[in-house]
Structure 1
Amino acid sequence: MSLLDSQGWPVRGEAGQKVVAFGGGHGLSATLKALRHLTHQLTAVVTVADDGGSSGRLREEMGVLPPGDLRMALASLCDDSEWGLTWRDLMQLRFKTGGPLTDHALGNLLITGLWQMFDDPVVGLDWVGRLLQAHGQVMPMSSVPVDIEADVIFEGETRVVRGQSEVATTGHRITDVRLLPEHPPVPSAVIEATAEAEWVVLGPGSWYTSVLPHLLVEDLHRALVTTAAHRALVLNLAPQSGETDGFSPADHVRVVHSYAPDFKLDIVIADPTAVDDVDDLVEACELLGARLLLRQVRTGSGLPVHDPLRLAAAFRDAFDGYLGEVGESEAWLS
């Protein structure tokens, strides 16, 4: 771990541990905003299944990876200087023209242009990171776009729903989910970062469309299972309407285990206000070999949104615990 100041935060200039965070959308953004308080050796691996909005239009028209979630991850890592924050805001700006550019995010267009220039998604994203003076690197889960396909129960029958935007809003119980193509290629840099990590983090986020996809890609699954890194899972603060209606925190953990029984965790982080049955959640965590770390990570507003500083403190406790600073399991359930 890096040296800490009097308030327990890393001293500026200290690199910190190598951490790779997996996910997409607002959930990954929350994780990155928290982790950047603890380390500068931070890599984000982002799902590439988005098929809606600006990203979906660019994907369909140009055959590129959907850039939106990648843009959000980069914005979360931007430098806090005037330069970084200005470019972050410009990257997030959406056009309101009433014409073909309406609702396109400027950052999506910039990323797509760099991909055309360099013909390498990782290199193009690195150039955007340099522009934002990002504290970390952002990479796609796959070098080709993927589609999410799910079996759902509708009026007692199984139906197939295809596309991230459709699966995320199905409103029916999902019984199975898969990716198309079945074996998308993973950038070598993603495999290397996972192998070299000291910690890998999954969640929070849309469970079936942002978190699970990383475990459904064969090469990435293997990398996550075989890495020597410690592994943490951050649970959502509430079920996601349309995708995980009625799910308990333990149900989320059991879904991970059902799709990747060989994937073991060290820590599961949950907010106590989101857990009705702690014993059930502890049992689910044990399926993955994990200890439960209960910490207040919700914003003060009470909304199901993670607070970056509170989540950072939870990560710090988790990381320090595996350096021997937390011993008995009871200390984690507080």
Structure 2
Amino acid sequence: MKVIAIGGGTGLSTILRGLKNKGLELTAIVAVTDEGGSSGKIRQELNVPPPGDVRNNIIALARDESLMSRLFSYRFSTNGSLSQHSVGNIILAALTMMTGSFAKAVRHACDILAIEGKVLPVCEQLIRLVAFYSDGSVVVGETEISKKVDARIVSVRLDKKVQALEEVIREISQADAVLLGPGSLYTSVITNLLVEGVAESICDNKKAKKIYIANIMTQPGETIGFSLEDHVSEIEKYLKTELDYVVANNTLPPKDVLLSYAKQCAEPVLPRGHVDKRYLFYDLLEITYEPSDPRPKARHNPVITAKILTNLLGERSFSEK
């Protein structure tokens, strides 16, 4: 089964970690509009696409015990100019400048780590996300979008027209299933659908089942107050077709985790009312703690989520052909 997974950073890499040993032909299509942290600095200084999300997903498909995958993950913690840069980001930037192509750099990095599957940037151009809000304001760039919490996003677009990589279009056209999310609704998932050729290719591939893996929590700056149906509606708005399935979490995080998220005005993604049979609910929740951030995180359990997705692909999607 040829499966395409579309998204950005943490959410997409979580899904890939769970699926990589399931006998699927996996291709990750990754957003390139990130402007924060190490990626943002590299983008600004070297004028190359941000490597961070791509790096995360290459590592997710690498062998867990690989020394090279650990090297790509290593982040400097000095007081100098390398502080908070990851080795993988620097290697991808160097390969881009050596080859003159971000796509070639990603292919070389995938070869170095001998990953199970493919990782493709959605395009090679430097692009930015532009958000239009209910209060009439317009905000440019992911970093600034994440800071605005006093109005709701009405629509998004890219700052320029760009075409998806030919390989991205080819992979989508041959897919048996397309997975969207989890991840930041606009800045990780929908940003890919704004690149010319992506949504069109998904719509044109009639055999491919289109599955949205919904976020567990809403996100400040993007989806405050969004219900599960709101998330789905926005995905379908930019996809320009209906989803076949929506895989959603049905378990509330512990009270201390909910309180931690509430301080950021974030809450569980829940249905507003009765939903149709496309919506499939499971206990997907895993609470994680990261060294760089003491706050607990409500994430998708990669093993459980992968099991549900493979069952869905095997029992539903392909039995309907």
TM-score, normalization by structure 2 = 0.86
* Distance in 1 between residues matched to 2:3 and 2:77, nearest whole Å: 37
User: What does residue 204 of structure 2 align with?
Assistant: 226
Of 92, 96, 104, 2:73 maps to: 92
Deviation of the 1:279 alpha carbon: 4.5
Deviation of the 1:276 alpha carbon: 4.4
Deviation of the 1:265 alpha carbon: 1.8
| 1:319 aligns to 2:313 (yes or no) | yes
The answer as to whether partners of 1:32 and 1:76 remain within 8 angstroms in 2 is yes
Q: Secondary structure at the match of 1:139?
A: strand
The answer as to whether partners of 1:74 and 1:134 remain within 8 angstroms in 2 is yes
| 1:295 aligns to 2:271 (yes or no) | no
Say if 1:276 and 1:114 are closer, same or farther in 2 by CA, change over 3 A. Answer: closer
Q: Secondary structure at the match of 2:119?
A: strand
Equivalent residues in 2 for 1:19-98 (5 A)? Answer: 19-80=3-64, 82=65, 84=66, 86-98=67-79
* Distance in 2 between residues matched to 1:90 and 1:264, nearest whole Å: 41
What CA RMSD, in Å, does the superposition of the two structures yield over aligned residues?
Answer: 1.9
* Distance in 1 between residues matched to 2:308 and 2:57, nearest whole Å: 20
Deviation of the 1:300 alpha carbon: 6.1
Letter in 1 for 2:281: L
* Distance in 2 between residues matched to 1:307 and 1:200, nearest whole Å: 20
* Distance in 2 between residues matched to 1:221 and 1:312, nearest whole Å: 24
Deviations 1:117-150 (A, max 9, x none): 2222222212211221211111111111210111
The answer as to whether partners of 1:94 and 1:106 remain within 8 angstroms in 2 is yes
Q: Secondary structure at the match of 2:75?
A: coil
Equivalent residues in 2 for 1:106-185 (5 A)? Answer: 106-153=87-134, 157-171=135-149, 172-181=151-160, 183-185=161-163
* Distance in 1 between residues matched to 2:62 and 2:11, nearest whole Å: 17
The answer as to whether partners of 1:55 and 1:67 remain within 8 angstroms in 2 is yes
The answer as to whether partners of 1:40 and 1:135 remain within 8 angstroms in 2 is no
Q: Secondary structure at the match of 1:56?
A: helix
Q: Secondary structure at the match of 2:243?
A: coil
The answer as to whether partners of 1:28 and 1:203 remain within 8 angstroms in 2 is yes
Say if 1:110 and 1:217 are closer, same or farther in 2 by CA, change over 3 A. Answer: same
User: What does residue 259 of structure 1 align with?
Assistant: 238
- Structure 2 residue runs without a partner (length 5+): 252-267, 289-295
User: What does residue 186 of structure 2 align with?
Assistant: 208
* Distance in 2 between residues matched to 1:277 and 1:20, nearest whole Å: 26
Say if 1:56 and 1:276 are closer, same or farther in 2 by CA, change over 3 A. Answer: closer
Deviations 1:80-116 (A, max 9, x none): 3x3x2x2222111112232221211110010111112
* Distance in 1 between residues matched to 2:143 and 2:275, nearest whole Å: 29
* Distance in 2 between residues matched to 1:300 and 1:99, nearest whole Å: 33
The answer as to whether partners of 1:225 and 1:264 remain within 8 angstroms in 2 is no
The count of corresponding residues between Structure 1 and Structure 2 is 294
The answer as to whether partners of 2:215 and 2:269 remain within 8 angstroms in 1 is no
Letter in 2 for 1:79: R
User: What does residue 245 of structure 1 align with?
Assistant: 224
Q: Secondary structure at the match of 2:137?
A: strand
* Distance in 2 between residues matched to 1:170 and 1:93, nearest whole Å: 31
Percent of pairs identical after alignment?
34
Higher relative contact order, structure no. (Cα contacts within 8 Å, ≥ 6 residues apart):
2
* Distance in 2 between residues matched to 1:276 and 1:120, nearest whole Å: 42
Quick check: 31-40 or 129-138, which moved more? 31-40
Letter in 1 for 2:81: P
Which aligned runs of 4 or more in structure 1 are off by greater than 6 angstroms?
none
Quick check: 47-56 or 262-271, which moved more? 262-271
Deviation of the 1:225 alpha carbon: 1.1
Deviation of the 1:317 alpha carbon: 2.1
Deviation of the 1:275 alpha carbon: 6.2
Say if 1:300 and 1:150 are closer, same or farther in 2 by CA, change over 3 A. Answer: closer
Deviation of the 1:158 alpha carbon: 1.5
Letter in 1 for 2:6: F
* Distance in 1 between residues matched to 2:90 and 2:287, nearest whole Å: 35
* Distance in 1 between residues matched to 2:270 and 2:248, nearest whole Å: 11
- Structure 1 residue runs without a partner (length 5+): 1-16, 283-289, 326-334
Deviation of the 1:306 alpha carbon: 0.3
* Distance in 1 between residues matched to 2:26 and 2:69, nearest whole Å: 18
